[in-house]
A and B are shown apart, each in its own frame.
Chain A
Amino acid sequence: MSTATDTIEDLVKTEYKYGFVTDVETESAPPGLSEDTIRMISRKKNEPEWLLDWRLKSYRHWLTMTEPTWQKAHHEKIDYQAIVYFSQPKPRKDAPKSLDEVDPKLLETYEKLGIPLRERGRLAGVAVDAIFDSVSVGTTFKKQLGEKGVIFCSFTEAVHEHPELVKKYLGSVVPYTDNFYAALNSAVFTDGSFCYIPKGVRCPMELSTYFRINAANTGQFERTLIIADDGAHVSYLEGCTAPMRDENQLHAAVVELVALDDGEIKYSTVQNWYPGDENGKGGIYNFVTKRGLCKGRNSKITWTQVETGSAITWKYPSCILLGDNSKGEFYSVAVTNNYQQADTGTKMVHIGKNTSSTIISKGISAGHGQNSYRGLVKIAKSATNARNFSQCDSMLIGSKCGAHTFPYIEVKNTTASVEHEASTSKIGEDQIFYCNQRGIETQDAVNMIVNGFCKEVFKELPMEFAVEAQKLLGVSLEGSVG
């Protein structure tokens, strides 16, 4: 039993409450993208030569690419020269050495967002790395993690402190040639989180990154790299918000996960970027590449995502199941209301023997929202006894929204078993009336029915975030009926 209605009730009535702007002095590059911009970013970060080279190679490759158009999402052409590629709160000295040196205004911002960076409060059991515009402003619980040998720090720090790990794994799962946005990210990424769990270690707490876009006209290009060494386990959470602005803002992140023998990574996202207003003005373009490599035997990667924000979401957290007996899982709830568009799904690529994958996708469309599930299940010739189960359910609220399903299945090994189930339902008037007749008003009834519909996914989220996710659903479906 959960406590959702109480909380949903309050939240249903609120608008996007993370839409405030923090007034901090920032240091920003002028808009525009060129090799000079990249050199500037690299210099600002004091990066080693190899990383600058990699960025430049990525940039040169990006110049040869064109924006993809196959996804079912429409937007005005993005002017890449109008974006600011680097923005950071003005450093007080150099970089903050500890949270005490972080600008109190930033700490306040995160408090407001419900993400206390001081090591107390609601998320007390969760280590947080907070990314404000392009840079990490602080990571909590470093000491406790350090005792177990867990490395959890900003990407920038990792480049300096653990260059061998970064060099080994950066781009190993998502090469810069992978796609347009991944190439762009590889060229201009500014920060992100890095996490390494050593052999045999179960990470003692949830790790979390909280992304915040603050400055106007700024793109956020962060890079996350998580490695679970042999027998290591980690559960990682990602949350995101942005101020309400009339212009669209680009968020093009890359996340790479690597699980070695018996390693397990559970990656959960609660995405709540500003979705634009009820007329479709403003909002974040969320074009993200997320991929996990189950490199070792018996390794396992689970993606759980609750996508309620962004004007356009375009992401396919994927698993490459290379190690024998490895497992990939994808649990997704994607909500589109007003004029939001989501094109999301996953790719499960089976290469190792006895690999298995599970896909549970719940798409909810309301208002004029368009929700597409796009998934690929690929069983390579080598993947003897591979198994996949996919279930894609769509729920429609109202008559102006749309749900679309594009499942692609490629099987090259006859011992494989692939199951796909799909359903589309309209939220039933009978169900709503039944709730009404028990004293529950329509908006609460919708939240309840939708939460029920998403239950299989929510149960995969860590407890705290499950509650958070339910609240978010309530907020994003506000005004969707009646």
Chain B
Amino acid sequence: MSNQPILEIKNLHAGVENKQILKGFSLTIYPGEVHALMGLNGSGKSTLAAILAGREGYDVTEGIVKYLGKDLLELDPEERAREGVFLAFQYPVEIPGVNSTYFLKAALNEVRKHKGQPELDAIEFLALVKEKVKLLDLNDDLLKRSVNEGFSGGEKKRAEIFQMAVLEPKLAILDETDSGLDIDALKVVSSGVNKLKRADSAQLVITHYQRLLNYIIPDHVHVMADGRIIKSGGKDLALELEAHGYDRIVKAAAVTA
């Protein structure tokens, strides 16, 4: 049972109208693993995240995506979320007038309903929030405000991780959660992410920077260029990237291809 991958992507080709973005992307993630996905701007990382989360507007032309053995692409985005797919957005949107705590309670209760668990009432939910706030060292004033409204870049990222902590997903995709964070925030966020690591869940961490991987230690590092993974390795691959840049890897991959 533990051998079943959480996520299995095979030869995924996808894009927006007239533009192919993913060109044969493959990746398998097992429970308990942390994968780092690195790559040049525009190589298709956020597109991958969006397709996994179910955003409209992308055409999948080839390949399969299995989540816990099921065809992920068949599910509506809210069903994916309820099944445990979580995307920490690169650019979280603001929802004016919608209280953050209220929003998150609604989200959690959707997940719970889906699992056949009783919904939490306001008091139970606040107790849970308190516990998670401590875990992540979050400024809980943010929770009294509207969803992401007027949050600083760093606050938005922290709030995403906080939501993740409350929702306890099986597969968390963090899209450049580190960018825009100062070093202290980076430490807080990554230690939060580490604390949320569980044997039965997995994380796909999208980043440009090795520095994040000093705090979130990946089991696997993948380098992406032009819509697919061109090299995979252990955490040392990130160091190699940092030292030599993408160029060498991209060229080497071109030679072997």
Contact = CB atoms under 8 A, between A and B. Distances in A.
B111 A439 contact: yes
A14 interface: no
A5 B111 CA distance: 14
B32 interface: no
A332 B36 CA distance: 50
Given A2-B102, A428-B93, A431-B93, A439 B114 contact: yes
B163 interface: yes
A444 B110 CA distance: 11
A452 B76 contact: no
Contacts of A63: none
Interface in A442-467: 442, 444, 448-449, 451-456
A428 B81 CA distance: 19
B242 interface: no
B77 A433 contact: yes
Given A439-B107, A448-B103, 4 more contacts: A436-B54, A436-B76, A436-B81, A439-B81
B118 interface: no
A439 B82 contact: yes
Interface residues of A, number: 29
6 contacts: A6-B119, A430-B93, A435-B103, A437-B53, A448-B95, A453-B97
A189 B54 CA distance: 57
A452 B97 CA distance: 4
Q: Mostly helix, strand, loop or mixed at chain A's interface?
A: helix
A5 B120 CA distance: 13
Contacts of A428: 93
Contacts of B163: 438
B146 interface: yes
Nearest to A2: B102
Contacts of A440: 78, 106-107, 110
B89 interface: yes
Interface string B74-111: 00111011100011010011011111011111110111
A332 B82 CA distance: 36
A453 B99 contact: no
The 6 closest A-B CB pairs, nearest first, are: A452-B97, A439-B110, A452-B98, A438-B107, A455-B97, A436-B77
B93 to A, nearest CB: 5
B167 interface: yes
Given A434-B89, A438-B107, A439-B111, A451 B95 contact: no
A451 to B, nearest CB: 7
Contacts of A438: 81, 103-104, 106-107, 110, 163, 167
B195 interface: no
Contacts of A429: 56
B97 A433 contact: no
Given A439-B111, A440-B78, A1 B99 contact: yes
Contacts of B55: 433
Contacts of B80: 437
B93 A449 contact: no
A118 to B, nearest CB: 30
Contacts of A453: 96-97
Contacts of B106: 5, 438, 440, 444, 448
B206 to A, nearest CB: 15
A454 B95 CA distance: 12
Contacts of B82: 439
A2 B98 CA distance: 10
A438 B88 CA distance: 10
A452 B103 CA distance: 11
A441 interface: yes
A437 B164 CA distance: 11
B101 A1 contact: yes
A4 B122 CA distance: 12
Nearest to A455: B97
Contacts of A435: 95, 103, 107
A441 B106 CA distance: 11
Interface string B107-148: 101110010000100100000000000000000000000100
A472 to B, nearest CB: 17
A12 to B, nearest CB: 13
B17 to A, nearest CB: 16
Given A444-B106, A449-B98, A452-B98, A439 B93 contact: no
A433 to B, nearest CB: 6
Contacts of B107: 435, 438-440
A379 B88 CA distance: 51
Contacts of B105: 1
Interface centre among A428, A430, A436, A441 (most CB of B within 10 A): A436
Contacts of B77: 433, 436-437
Interface centre among A434, A444, A449 (most CB of B within 10 A): A434
Contacts of A448: 95, 98, 103, 106
B72 to A, nearest CB: 13
B92 A454 contact: no
Contacts of B56: 429, 433
Interface centre among A429, A437, A453 (most CB of B within 10 A): A437
Interface in A214-249: none
Contacts of A436: 54, 76-78, 81
